Amino acid sequence: MTLSDIISKSHYGSVGHISSQKDIDTLRSYISHNFSILQRFENIIAVTNYPDSSLNSKLYLASETENLWKEYFPNSIQINNGASKGHYFGAAYNDNSLFNYCKENNIEWLCKSANDIILFSEILDKHVEEADFYYLNGIGYGGMERYNFDLDKIILETFYPQTNFYILNVSKTNYLNDKTYLDQAYDHIKTIPNYNGKAWEYGYKSNETLLKEAVERNNLLKYHLISEEKYVTLLQFIKQNHIHDCSHKNILIDGVCHCHFINNQIIKI
């Protein structure tokens, strides 16, 4: 079967942070680019958080963001997640809100994405096997270094699913991120002087680790969306260019690109 078979029975969930009119304009360009592919999903769910600014500012940003999604997808579901708790916690709480909405409304398949993901038509024709979880593995130069750049070992032993794009069988998953864990962690980091926004540097689990735990806790059958041949090419590129970010920003892989820097070049693997 192809990925389009799964897409046709999935809801597309996009999460993000909107802090300005510029962000809204940028989001419009992403939605416009993805429109023809997003039309193939059962529906769209957008989860957005906003800066902890004045009430009028938040109301304006929320209204403009929701109107934008509705302009392209009138029946889309809009979830306002209020003021962001920072990059790490904001993303984790957004992901939970998206997953919980699907769970509460008996939505079986979720294609979890982000506002800065762009999609190309080749994603539709990608051949895949039956699974419960389709993902892109995340790894950077540091992660490869820990394996002494042994590609065979990296391919065999690493499972660090990116949180910005995956397809999940919600019906087979009990919960995504442990809310009690997140709440306690957030309460603690608020007491840390000069907290740098990177919770994992203070001993807390990364968003990728939380996703990995959800997959393993539910014994989900997983399928890597990158072929081994193409994954080797990606790993070689990461090593050669000393790329430490594990989220493959601005790298196009089989029709999916985490286009975080909209004005920068996209590298196709």
Q: How far is CA 244 from CA 114, 144, 237, 249, 263, in A?
A: 21, 9, 11, 11, 20
Place 95 in a pLDDT band, splitting at 50, 70 and 90.
very high
Tokens of 27: 């989001």
Looking at the predicted structure, is the pLDDT value of residue 57 above 90? no
Q: Is the pLDDT of residue 201 over 90?
A: no
Encoded amino acid at 124, one letter: L
Q: Residue 87 has what pLDDT?
A: 87
According to the model, what pLDDT value does residue 161 have? 97
**CA proximity to 259, closest of 44, 13, 31, 71:** 31
Neighbouring residues of 191: CB distance < 8 A, sequence distance ≥ 6: none
- pLDDT value of position 55: 62
Closest CA to 7 of 167, 156, 211, 193: 167
- Kindly report the average pLDDT of the chain as a whole number: 94
Q: Does pLDDT of 61 surpass 80?
A: yes
* 3-class DSSP assignment, residue 16: strand
**pLDDT attached to residue 264:** 86
Contact residues for 144 (Cβ-Cβ < 8 A; gap 6+): 154, 235, 238, 239
- Say if CB 121 and CB 252 are below 8 A apart: no
pLDDT tens track for 143-186? 999 999 999 999 999 999 999 999 999 999 999 999 999 999 99
- Rounded CA-CA distance 234/153 in Å is 15
Question: How many angstroms separate the CA atoms of 250 and 269, rounded?
Answer: 11
The whole-number average pLDDT for the span 180-194 is 92
**Average of pLDDT values for 234-238?**
96
Q: What are the backbone angles phi and psi of residue 169, rounded to the nearest 5°? A: -80, 100
Domain residue ranges in the chain: 3-268
The pair of three-digit structure tokens given for residue 127, joined into one six-digit string: 């051949």
Instruction: Indicate whether 58 pLDDT > 90.
Output: no
- pLDDT reported for residue 197: 83
Q: Which residue has the higher pLDDT, 58 or 209?
A: 209
Which stretches within 150-203 are classed as H helix? Answer: 151-157, 179-189
- Segment 196-217 mean pLDDT: 92
Report pLDDT digits (tens) over 8-55. 999 999 999 999 999 999 999 999 999 999 999 999 999 999 998 766
Give the contacts of 148 (CB within 8 A, at least 6 positions apart): none
% of the chain beyond a pLDDT of 90: 86
Per-residue model confidence as pLDDT tens digits over 106-149: 999 999 999 999 999 999 999 999 999 999 999 999 999 999 99
For position 56, what pLDDT does the model report? 62
Length of the chain in residues, anyone? 269
pLDDT for the residue numbered 209: 95
% of the chain at pLDDT higher than 70: 99
Sign of torsion over alpha carbons 15, 19, 23, 28: positive
pLDDT at residue 54, as a whole number: 66
Contact 189, 202 (CB under 8 A): yes
Kindly list the strands in the beta sheet with 267-268, ordered across the sheet, starting from the edge strand earlier in the chain: 117-119, 256-258, 251-253, 267-268
CATH class of the region 3-268 = alpha beta
